[in-house]
Amino acid sequence: MERIVVDPQIHFSKPVIQGTRITVQNVLELINEGLSFDQLVKDYYPDLKKEDIQACMLYRGRHRIRRVE
């Protein structure tokens, strides 16, 4: 889980991908909209690795982040 960090100085302590200001929530919302990993990286966050996106999904599972519709 070292790819996901919580820092009180970034986005009000929301979990973000380490070294970025990209929140786990933003990534999960795009995935929930049906974007593939490749689309997400190509169209929104070109600096992310697939492992970063997978870490967001694992974080959701481990921290019981619910999908909001």
Cα separation, 62 vs 44, in Å, equals 25
Flag whether pLDDT at 68 surpasses 70: no
Closest CA relative to residue 3, chosen from 47, 51, 39: 51
CATH of region 4-62? 1.10.10.10
Q: What are the pLDDT digits (tens) for 14-35?
A: 999 999 999 999 999 999 999 9
Q: What pLDDT sits at residue 61?
A: 82
Flag whether pLDDT at 50 surpasses 60: yes
**Secondary structure (DSSP) of 4-64:** EEE-TTSGGG-EEETTS--BHHHHHHHHHTT--HHHHHHHT-TT--HHHHHHHHHHHHHTT
Flag whether pLDDT at 66 surpasses 70: no
Helix H, strand E, coil C: the string for 10-26 is CHHHCEEECCCCCEHHH
Question: Looking at per-residue confidence, does 2 or 34 come out higher?
Answer: 34
Q: What pLDDT sits at residue 13?
A: 87
